[in-house]
Structure 1
Amino acid sequence: MSEQDYLKDISEIKNLMNRSSRFISLSGLSGIFAGIYAILGAIIAYAFIFSKQKEILILHSLEFKVLIGLLILVAVLSVVTAYLLTTQKAKKNKEKIWDGTTKRLLLNFLIPLVTGGIYIIIKLNSQHYGLTASLMLIFYGLALVNASKYTIGNVKYLGYAEIIIGLICAALPGYGFWFWILGFGLMHVIYGSIMMFHEKKV
């Protein structure tokens, strides 16, 4: 066996190990859709809530409930789209969509995300609204970084970007809405586009 064949075998073994320990069917298109949903949700929120809201958004107000509804809708659409596109990609690659790796990925993703969600709710109940957008970005970024070790790709870099944007957002109060669009909207579109570019090269 030549040295070149030996290196090729090592590379194939490494790829097999990656496939068995990491979730590799994440779709770049799902990231683009998630970003689009976030941007559309933000446009609707701005048109019907923020453009008319002169005072701080009150926790139990109708506007706040509408905003929460929009956030939930964006999240549901993003998750459903990601599931459908990822399932389609997994079938195409003849991979399992639900296995031990997927469970570990979801667990590591949800721990920071749920923790952050609970913390944000606590802050809102205490009428601390100012850092909501930054906290959402930071905890979402932490969730991505935490889950990145169970997926192939550059998800961790998206996580780093979300954390940085969240920290800048915290340092610049009053611009949370725009940083939210940047983090959840534009960054997802950019990341999804990069993923799709790499998918086409493979």
Structure 2
Amino acid sequence: MNENPQNQLKEIRSMMERSTRFMSLSGWTGIMAGIYSLLGAVAAYYVVYKMKFDEMVVPSNLETYGNGRPQHYDYPNGLIDLFSEKNILLFGIAAAVIFLSGTTAFYHSSIKAKKQGVQLWNSTSKRLFVQVAIPLIAGGIFCLALLVYGHAGLIAPAMLIFYGMALLNGSKYTLKEFHSLALCEIGLGLISLFFIGYGLYFWAIGFGVLHIIYGILMQKRYN
């Protein structure tokens, strides 16, 4: 250890931080997750706005928002078909984005943890996982209920808000920049509540653009 008292304090502080925070996140994880999300948004846009809805029975009391696009279907029986062609495609796109983002995060975090000489799956990463998973699972169920009852226009804002809450919940166990990203996601989700017809655009900004910006900043700051 360095004999300079100030350097000793810095090293002690750094060791304490590494013992209580998960420091193996890579900026490339954010960048790639943002790219996957933007590609997913493009694919979802095609599915939502370009596909023909031949199999859908749209009632006369269809509501539209802002740009005139139908975002909320008030079905007579109160439910919609979760396994329609459109929904299956959207679920597939979401699953692909989540799988690719998770795989990329695991790959880059494994490399960084190995360079740092620490275990990837330790008590800190376990706490981080639990704290992030709880709001994400709750948000996923909430969004599924919105879809079932036809409130499709509220899904994008809800996803952004719950995702931001998940990041905020886990920010005390990882990089401090998580806190800023969490507030941006929550704020963007709240704003999008007043622009329901444009939810997909806000989704692309929140999960795509913000992740890329965050990843670039992290890559420059920590690598």
Given the two structures, how large is their TM-score scaled by the length of structure 1? 0.92
Q: Which runs of 5+ in 2 are unaligned?
A: 53-68, 74-79
The one-letter code of the counterpart of 2:220 is: F
Residue of structure 1 equivalent to 2:222: 199
How far does residue 55 in structure 1 lie from its aligned partner after superposition? 4.7
Alignment of 1:55-134 (within 5 A): 55-56=70-71, 59-60=81-82, 61-134=84-157
Is structure 2 residue 143 aligned with structure 1 residue 144?
no
Q: Secondary structure of 2:153's partner?
A: coil
Residue of structure 1 equivalent to 2:11: 12
How far does residue 173 in structure 1 lie from its aligned partner after superposition? 1.2
How far does residue 135 in structure 1 lie from its aligned partner after superposition? 0.2
Tell me the distance in 2 between the aligned counterparts of 1:93 and 1:7.
23
C-alpha contact 2:33 2:208 (8 A) present in aligned 1: yes
Residue of structure 2 equivalent to 1:45: 44
Runs of 4 or more above 4 Å deviation: 53-59
The one-letter code of the counterpart of 1:180 is: W
Aligned residues: 197
How far does residue 145 in structure 1 lie from its aligned partner after superposition? 0.8
Distance 1:12 1:24, change over 3 A: same
Residue of structure 1 equivalent to 2:193: 170
How far does residue 49 in structure 1 lie from its aligned partner after superposition? 3.5
How far does residue 7 in structure 1 lie from its aligned partner after superposition? 2.5
How far does residue 126 in structure 1 lie from its aligned partner after superposition? 2.1
How far does residue 127 in structure 1 lie from its aligned partner after superposition? 2.0
Q: Which moved more, 1:91-100 or 1:57-66?
A: 57-66
C-alpha contact 2:47 2:89 (8 A) present in aligned 1: no
Which structure is larger by alpha-carbon Rg, 1 or 2?
A: 2
Query: What is the root-mean-square deviation in Å for CA atoms of aligned residues?
Result: 1.7
C-alpha contact 1:59 1:124 (8 A) present in aligned 2: no
Aligned-residue sequence identity (percent) comes to 42
C-alpha contact 2:34 2:209 (8 A) present in aligned 1: yes
Distance 1:59 1:161, change over 3 A: farther
The one-letter code of the counterpart of 1:157 is: S
How far does residue 51 in structure 1 lie from its aligned partner after superposition? 2.6
C-alpha contact 1:30 1:85 (8 A) present in aligned 2: yes
Tell me the distance in 1 between the aligned counterparts of 2:116 and 2:12.
18
Tell me the distance in 2 between the aligned counterparts of 1:63 and 1:123.
16
CA displacement, residues 107-158 of structure 1 (integer Å, 9 cap, x when unaligned): 0001111111111112222222221000000000000011010012401111
Q: Which moved more, 1:172-181 or 1:123-132?
A: 123-132
Q: Which runs of 5+ in 1 are unaligned?
A: none
